[in-house]
A and B are shown apart, each in its own frame.
Chain A
Amino acid sequence: MSGMHGGANGATPPDPSAEPVVVFEDVSIGFEQKPVLENISFRVHPGEMRVLLGPAGVGKSVLLKLVNGLLRPDSGRIFVFGKEISAMREEDLFELRGSIGTVFQEGALFDSLTVRDNVGYRLMEEHLPDEEITARATEALRFVELEHTLDKFPSELSGGMRRRVAIARAIVTNPRLILYDSPTGGLDPITSTTIIELVMKQRDVSHTSSLVVTHRLQDAFVLAMHRFDRARNGMVPLPEHQTDPNTSFLMLHQGHLVFDGSTKELVHSSDPFIREYIS
């Protein structure tokens, strides 16, 4: 389904026969009797990055919150790592969420905790030794190139730095799935590129499955048409006519999933809404 030219960055397309990381089956949810998402079905395979597009207010963040069980669907079934989370108790969900990293729209850092404690929060909850927490938090912060901010408070950081700390917090436990909720929302173009590079780095270096919510088409295409080069420690464009085989798209419109496919299929879609959206 995704990627028309695999192997551009040594990556192989996701194996459709492998157990999907996320499965949505006819999921619907509404608030105050107004439907927000209706009959949504899609899958995320291991190592796959699914970029969720759609206009503001269409329910992209709601969909992301359904994936980690922060919201429960009105109907339909949601499976994460093979477990039906829509039927799980909240207490059981807390354990499962340990394998899911989430980057919230505005970072959602704990403002009363230092960067070290924010990044190491989950490790502190597991009562790991202080030295190990510091070491792992530093390592995660090094990934986002913010290891020097360990003792600062979120209020002392810029918007882009806060977002990078949120990414460090999401990856510190080496999750099997990462959910990015508009990671570049409200940031300037240069900072946005830095964040997208980190998202790409996580995809190409750690091969973690991910769902990326964005309404910035530019970010989506950068993810699809670039790869992370470890040697240069930065992103490089894929050869012409090649796209990342692990990156594919979902698009929401008026509560419905109107697109589920590869970059090529998205670009060549004849759907009037999609054409207008990507033009």
Chain B
Amino acid sequence: MALETIDAAAKRGVLALQDYVVLSARALGDLFRRPFYREDIFMQADIIGVGSLPIVILTGFFLGGVLALQSASTLQQFGAAAFTGQLVSFSMIKEIGPVVTALMVSGRNASGMASELGSMIVTEQIDAMRALGTDPLKKLVMPRIVATVVMLFFLVIISDAVGICGGGFVSVLMLGQDASQYLHLSYQSLEFPDILQGLVKPVFFGFIIATIGCYYGMKTRGGTQGVGRSTTQAVVWSSILIIVCDFMVSRFMIGIFGR
């Protein structure tokens, strides 16, 4: 009996993975097939990118600030408080900026995608779209993937910049450090692999957010309760996968560049 349960759960898991891979692959393939929904990509970019800007700026600024606060107090014990800027920029660009921005965007947009597409599923709007001769993967999923990947890339850059400014604000105005020294160390110690790592991650994270949000939306069953369930699962799984992916990309890039 227990074996049967494990067997059924394993099959469900494999089937879900298969469906997810097929959905992602087909949506990516749609990038190269006509019609190309350019307007939908711009509309999604506006919703996902511009719409997420306030939360990204706010979280980025305060994260940079708290990083400066915490690191300055530790560094001071070793007489190295001047390196606060370096630590803030390193942390923001390589880890905190991409991961926290992705988690914020995931909370806002993976849930939005899952609930929007899920509602369309339960009200037969997706079937209506197919019946009207439109491929929902091309019209709804592909633009969300493109928009999320592109916009998250720029949101992370903004978050990094605002975070470093937040750290600077705390270091200079609250901890009394020298502004020129803070900024100088912030960028002087950065090298190409650090920047690359910070810019590669949002591409993966954006893909995860959009595909997981759309996957759970398109797989919604069971009315409004099902929409709620899909929304929750989309946020939970995209958050988990972002952190797992972060570890893997970091390990891979450290393996290649040695830092």
- Contact surface of A with B, Cβ cutoff 8 Å: 65, 68, 70, 90-91, 94-95, 97-98, 100, 102, 104-106, 108-111, 121-122, 125, 169
Contact B35 A125 (CB under 8 A): yes
Contact B134 A106 (CB under 8 A): no
Q: Could you tell me which residues of chain B, from 24 to 76, have a CB within 8 Å of some CB in chain A?
A: 33, 35
Instruction: Determine, out of B97-105, B120-128, B194-202, the stretch whose residues face the partner at the interface.
Output: B120-128
Number of interface residues, chain B, beta carbon within 8 A = 14
Complex contacts, A68 vs chain B, CB 8 Å: 131
Selected A-B contacts with CB under 8 Å, 28 pairs:
A65-B127, A68-B131, A70-B127, A90-B135, A91-B33, A95-B133, A97-B130, A97-B131, A97-B133, A98-B133, A100-B131, A102-B131, A104-B124, A104-B128, A106-B123, A106-B124, A108-B123, A108-B124, A108-B125, A111-B123, A111-B125, A121-B132, A121-B134, A122-B132, A122-B133, A125-B35, A125-B132, A169-B132
Complex Cα–Cα for A94 and B139 (A)? 13
Complex contacts, B33 vs chain A, CB 8 Å: 91
Tell me, rounded to whole Å, the shortest Cβ–Cβ distance linking B221 to chain A: 11
Tell me, rounded to whole Å, the shortest Cβ–Cβ distance linking A69 to chain B: 8
Complex Cα–Cα for A90 and B26 (A)? 11
Q: Could you tell me which residues of chain B, from 77 to 125, have a CB within 8 Å of some CB in chain A?
A: 123-125
Our count of residue pairs bridging A and B at CB distance below 8 angstroms stands at 50
Complex contacts, B134 vs chain A, CB 8 Å: 94, 121, 125
| Residue on A nearest B35 in the bound complex, by CB | A125
Contacts beyond the supplied A90-B135, A106-B123, A122-B133: 5 A-B pairs with Cβ under 8 Å:
A91-B33, A94-B135, A97-B133, A100-B131, A102-B132
Task: From A90, A97, A106, give the contact of B132 (CB < 8 A).
Answer: A97
Tell me, rounded to whole Å, the shortest Cβ–Cβ distance linking A205 to chain B: 23
Complex contacts, B129 vs chain A, CB 8 Å: 110
Complex Cα–Cα for A89 and B129 (A)? 17
The 0/1 profile, CB within 8 Å of A marked 1, for residues 219-239 of chain B is 000000000000000000000
Complex Cα–Cα for A95 and B35 (A)? 12
Contact A105 B133 (CB under 8 A): no
Q: Which interface residue of B123, B125, B130, B132 has the most chain A CB atoms within 10 A?
A: B132
Complex contacts, A106 vs chain B, CB 8 Å: 123-124
Contact A125 B133 (CB under 8 A): yes
Q: Which interface residue of B125, B129, B134, B135 has the most chain A CB atoms within 10 A?
A: B125
Complex Cα–Cα for A105 and B125 (A)? 11
Complex Cα–Cα for A91 and B135 (A)? 8
Complex contacts, B135 vs chain A, CB 8 Å: 90-91, 94
Contact A110 B133 (CB under 8 A): no
Complex contacts, A95 vs chain B, CB 8 Å: 133
Complex contacts, B35 vs chain A, CB 8 Å: 125
Complex Cα–Cα for A122 and B133 (A)? 7
Contact B131 A70 (CB under 8 A): yes
Complex Cα–Cα for A126 and B32 (A)? 18
Complex Cα–Cα for A168 and B133 (A)? 16
| Residue on A nearest B132 in the bound complex, by CB | A122
| Residue on B nearest A65 in the bound complex, by CB | B127
Task: From B123, B125, B127, B133, give the contact of A94 (CB < 8 A).
Answer: B133
Contact A105 B124 (CB under 8 A): yes
Complex contacts, A122 vs chain B, CB 8 Å: 132-133
Contact A110 B131 (CB under 8 A): no
Complex contacts, B132 vs chain A, CB 8 Å: 97, 102, 121-122, 125, 169
| Residue on A nearest B135 in the bound complex, by CB | A94
Complex Cα–Cα for A136 and B69 (A)? 65
| Residue on B nearest A95 in the bound complex, by CB | B133
Tell me, rounded to whole Å, the shortest Cβ–Cβ distance linking B132 to chain A: 5
Complex contacts, A110 vs chain B, CB 8 Å: 125, 128-129
Tell me, rounded to whole Å, the shortest Cβ–Cβ distance linking A111 to chain B: 7
Complex Cα–Cα for A90 and B33 (A)? 14
Complex Cα–Cα for A91 and B35 (A)? 12
8 closest Cβ contacts across the A-B interface? A108-B128, A108-B124, A102-B131, A97-B133, A94-B133, A98-B133, A104-B124, A122-B132
Complex Cα–Cα for A105 and B130 (A)? 15
